[in-house]
A and B are shown apart, each in its own frame.
Chain A
Amino acid sequence: MPAPRSRLARQRIRAAWWMLAPMLIVLLGVAGWPLARTIWLGFTEAGLADVEAPRFIGLTNYVYLLQDPDWWRAVRNTAVFAGASVALETALGLIIALSLNAHFRGRGALRAAILVPWAIPTVVSAQMWRWMFNDVFGVINHVLLAVHAIDTPIAWTASPDTALLSIILVDVWKTTPFMALLLLAGLQMLPQECFESARVDGVHPLKVFFRITLPLLKPALTVAIIFRVLDALRVFDLVYVISGNNRDTMSMSVYARQQLVDFQDVGYGSAAATLVFAIIALFTVIYLSASRAGREL
């Protein structure tokens, strides 16, 4: 039983709510309302031409959705994309962060330069990579042919074997800097005493990394990874620009867009969008409970 609050405390709480109210109202308007509407439309058979009076059809959309092999293909593509790209970005980002953490001349300029891929709008960089991946005039095939790494040009974005791989590579190129910066911030907050005593004791650098750096960096690493996973699960622009509605690479968001926009099936598309939202929400809940458990330990 909490102690009864003083008048002052109650006043302060009321004032806090008043301060928060504008932001909460805006959030309800721009996030809550569209979300609620999408969830509601997922239970109807609304079409783009007749959004006026959609008919409630219960779970029918979800039944169809879970039976659609294209949906499951999109789920698999998204899972592969998220898993592979986040793993690569974390590994590369950690290496870059460790190098940038060392003291050398021009470090500031290098840190700024490394952010360039992250700063380019995704649609622009995706289009740029699409040209570079072109099988006839693309520069990537040109270079690989020139160094005799391949004999015939590879149709990177067209072949079912390499299409998803090339999308993952572009994402790694684009997002590794973001990962590196987050981890660098984490590295710079680590207490230096452990490293100094390890140096005095002459511990092997690899052992220092696995026994000291990594465990200390774990909170920052977890935050960075969960951020990236949430981002990767809703990937849309990169996939759509590079290979459109191709089923070999289609992500969950691309699937939802095709139903909503190309097929004008607002009801079914909303159901798909709701499921994407639910999956991402699930990951967020797992993260939040994991981090709470971590703090209590």
Chain B
Amino acid sequence: MRSPRAPRPHRPVRRRAARGAGAGWRAVPLALGLLLSFAGGAAQAADLSISCGALGQELRLCQDAVDAWSRKTGHRVQVVSTPNSATERLALYQQILAARSSDIDIMQIDVVWPGTLAPHLVDLSQYIGPGTTATHFKSLIDNDTVDGALVAMPWFTDAGVLFYRKDLLEKYNEPVPKTWTELTRIARRIQNAERAAGHARMQGFVFQAKGYEGLTCNALEWIDSFGGGTLVDDHGAITVDNPRAAAALDLAASWIGDIAPEGVLNYDEEQSRGVFQSSNAVFMRNWPYAWALANAEDSPIRGQVGVTALPAGGTDGHPSGVLGGWQLAVSKYSAHPALAADLVRHLTAASEQKRRAVIGAYNPTIPALYRDPEVLDAVPFFGQLYTSFEHAVARPSRITGSKYNRVSAAFYNTVHDILARRQPAEPQLRALAQRRLQRLSRDGQW
């Protein structure tokens, strides 16, 4: 965190100058505006701060890219570390933004946040033209456009995928599962056989079932793959109380203590990766970032990991994956919005996204990169899962707007109860839909 006491000479003066100039730029063409900003910035290097990633490889990748931009432009950029948990990061951003603080110029924001944070974010379309945005997935640009303003640029996308142990499936001569029922059978068989062979800690399947946003993602994937909808439909109607959703959750509840350890009820992404990567699980649901780490030099399961789309629910279901991913946004209270936008352009450009894909297996938001031979060489499953990423299922954050966090909390609490106490899903879902969500939605108005 940047210390608020760090001496920053002449800052108020510069800020005023930058604001005054910013208002004028809107009238002049984009290119000229940027030229002016560089002419202005060249006299004195500016300080920017960016929040991107929290730890490990994610932070390092961002630091490298930011350093490259710094060398090119001569401006100093400080990488601010923020909490790893998304919920806590959002809370921090909201406190900073509500106080109109300029402490963080560029924020890495989750795919479900543009609606919540939009009033505090700069419209990037002043700085980044339609020629650039057209190269990104249209669904993401739409997601980041609030009331006609481009409040964030897509940086990397995500969809829930299934990781499996190739060596174990081969050893037991089992196929890659296509349905959840098949996954349940294979996981149980391999887990029990491996335990009998002396590997006492072996688990069949690990995922994220702690009471937090990650459980909302996991549970929506189960429900959607059974054809049970996505909690709230595009028109605001609450759809979660249906037999397919109940069937999906009943199946998931049967996993606890059978193919999944009971501890999964307190696992987030990293805890499940800890179990999978220490060679203690056959299957894992996670985001694609786990690929690079599972295949790192020091990983015990290096080279033995496969990735595929999440299984379908039943014979008439379909594979599903929840849309995740992160965007870069510029704070309205930034002293240097034009410079910040330029750094955002640099970080979201095809060359940088390619570097992140090759080194860190971060999914590009630019479709063309999914056909790039170097990218496919580093992360072979990108090509095969392209449609999963393109058609990932969005959480109902746009329709529920600022109430999304409450909707999500009501949902993951209900699912957690169903899993933890092995209660039948149907009455729980009815109570969720008719009591909690109905009250939150004010009868579908949101």
| Interface of A toward B, CB cutoff 8 Å | 47-49, 51, 134-137, 153-155, 157-160, 163, 243-248, 258, 261-264
Contacts and interface: CB of A to CB of B under 8 A. Distances in A.
Contacts of B267: 158
B119 to A, nearest CB: 7
Contacts of B274: 136-137
A48 B94 CA distance: 7
6 contacts: A48-B95, A155-B264, A157-B263, A158-B267, A243-B266, A244-B211
Contact of A244 (B201, B212, B405, B420): B212
A159 B278 CA distance: 23
A245 B416 CA distance: 11
Chain A interface, >50% SS class:
loop
Interface of B: 87, 90-91, 94-95, 98, 116, 119, 201, 203, 210-212, 261-267, 271, 274-275, 278, 280, 402, 405-406, 409, 413, 416-417, 420-421
A155 B203 contact: no
A49 B94 CA distance: 7
Given A244-B212, A245-B409, A247-B413, A264 B94 contact: yes
Nearest to B92: A261
Given A246-B211, A261-B91, 8 more contacts: A48-B95, A49-B94, A49-B402, A155-B264, A157-B263, A246-B416, A247-B416, A264-B116
A38 B255 CA distance: 44
Given A135-B263, A245-B409, A160 B275 contact: no
Given A49-B119, A264-B402, A137 B262 contact: no
Contacts of B94: 48-49, 261, 264
Given A159-B265, A264-B405, A247 B211 contact: yes
Contact of A248 (B275, B405, B420): B420
A159 B402 contact: no
Contact of A155 (B87, B265, B280): B265
B211 A155 contact: no
B40 to A, nearest CB: 32
Contacts of A158: 210, 262-267, 420
A137 B266 contact: no
Given A137-B275, A160-B420, A155 B405 contact: no
Contact of A136 (B95, B212, B263, B409): B263
A134 to B, nearest CB: 6
A159 B262 contact: yes
B419 to A, nearest CB: 10
A275 B93 CA distance: 27
Contacts of A154: 262
B266 A48 contact: no
Nearest to A260: B91
Nearest to A156: B263
A129 to B, nearest CB: 13
Contacts of A159: 262, 265, 420
